[in-house]
Amino acid sequence: MSERPEIIIYTDGSCSPNPGRGGWAAILFNETHKREVCGGELHTTNNRMELIAVVEALKRIKQPSKIVLHSDSKYVIEGVSSWLEGWKAKGFKKVKNPELWMQLDELIQPHSINWVWVKGHEGVSMNERADALANEGRLRQKVTSTLLLLTKAD
């Protein structure tokens, strides 16, 4: 049996204002490949963007792997490390973003993941890059508005 591939991931979420326009990003790499992905939503929260960043990263891994996942979100790290099993047992009742936590729970199953909290904005180059990408994802979201033209009927 072959050994699981090793993958390093850095994720980040961004929202301004919070709640408001948000972005997420993930950087996945190993010895030979690197992939950066980002996106966003118009009306969201920072915690939601942090979770989506992890979900989107894990969606891109197609085989069971050995992963070291770095996040500056204590919400994500503590959620998956300390609270997830209890939330599952209670059917995710009274949990914010339950659909994302359920999806994350499903996505982590085939992998061996070491969850690492990294302090944000402290000069960790990959975390800084993930932050820049999350902001890019946030800024790509166009503010939409509806213009209603009222005309006088003849």
What is the enclosing helix (H) or strand (E) of 20?
A: strand 20-29
CA distance 132 to 139: 10
Beta sheet of 66-71, edge-to-edge order? 34-44, 20-29, 6-16, 66-71, 112-117
* 50 has catalytic annotation: yes
* 13 has catalytic annotation: yes
Query: What is the chain's Cα-based Rg?
Result: 18
* Cβ(134)–Cβ(16) below 8 Å: no
**From 13, 22, 39, 137, active-site residue:** 13
**From 3, 121, 122, 123, active-site residue:** 121
* 121 has catalytic annotation: yes
* 105 has catalytic annotation: no
Helices 125-140, 46-59: axis angle to 10 degrees equals 110
* 33 has catalytic annotation: no
**From 50, 56, 70, 137, active-site residue:** 50
**From 22, 23, 56, 131, active-site residue:** 131
Output the six-digit token pair for 141: 């979201």
Produce one character per residue of 62-87: b if its CB has 16 or more CB atoms within 10 Å, e if not: eeebebebbbbbebbbebbeeebeeb
**From 40, 56, 72, 137, active-site residue:** 72
- List residues with catalytic annotation: 12-13, 50, 72, 121, 131
